[in-house]
Amino acid sequence: MPPAEQVEADDPPVPGRPAPSWCRFYGIAYDLATRRPIRALPLALVQQDSQAERHLTTDCLGRYSIDIPISDSGATLLSAPDIPGYKPGLAAEEDPPLFDLSASDRHHVADRMGEGFEPLPLSYDCSQQLVRLDLVAVPKRWPKNPPSSENAP
C-alpha cells in the first residue's frame, strides 16, 4: 500500500446523506510525512452491538466511506494489520489538522506518537449523519526531505 503518485492528498468530496437512521463516516488516509494519499489501504469496521465486521479499501486517492446504523452503540475502525514502512495502526486527524502543519512540526508530532496506535473507536452524535474522519499513517522512518506547507505546490 504505497502512497499514491499524487503529490498531496486532496479533500474528499462531501458525500450524499446516508439513509435515515444511518451515519456515514468518510475521509482520506494519508502519509503524515509526505501528505500523499494511501491507496488500496484495507480497513475493517467492527460494530459494537452485533460484532459484525465490514471491510472496505481506500480508493486510488486514499478516500473511503462507510455507513453505520445509528441504532448501533458505536463501532471501531481497524487498519490493515501492518502497513510496510509505517507504525502499526492509524491515527485520527486532529484539530487543527496535522496535514496543515509544516514538515518539521509534523515530524515533531510523529516523534511524540510512540510506536503504534490502538484501533480507532468511532463515536458520533446521532443527529450527525455525515462525519469526516481523516486517517493518518505515520512512517517508521521520517524521510530526509518531506514536503512542507512552505514549499508545497
Residue 152: its pLDDT value, please? 35
Residue 20: its pLDDT value, please? 85
Residue 4: exposure state from Cβ atoms within 10 A (0-12, 13-18, ≥19):
buried
Tell me the pLDDT of the chain averaged across its residues: 79
Give the residue with greater pLDDT, 12 vs 136. 136
- pTM of the complete model: 0.80
Element (H, E) at 108: helix 103-112
For the ranges 40-44, 48-52, 89-93, which has the lowest average pLDDT? 48-52
| Best mean pLDDT range from 9-13, 44-48, 61-65, 105-109 | 61-65
Do 50 and 72 contact (CB within 8 A), yes or no? yes
Q: Residue 137: which residues within 8 A CB-CB, separation 6 or more?
A: 29, 30, 31, 32, 38, 41, 79, 83, 86, 87, 90
In percent, how much of the chain has pLDDT > 90? 16
Rounded Cα distance between 136 and 2, Å, is 14
In the predicted structure, residue 148 carries a pLDDT above the cut 60: no
Quick: pLDDT tens for 17-38.
Answer: 888 888 888 999 999 999 999 9
Rounded Cα distance between 47 and 68, Å, is 8
Q: Considering only CA atoms, which of 115, 3, 23, 119 is closest in space to residue 65?
A: 23
Give the pLDDT band (50/70/90) at residue 5.
Answer: low
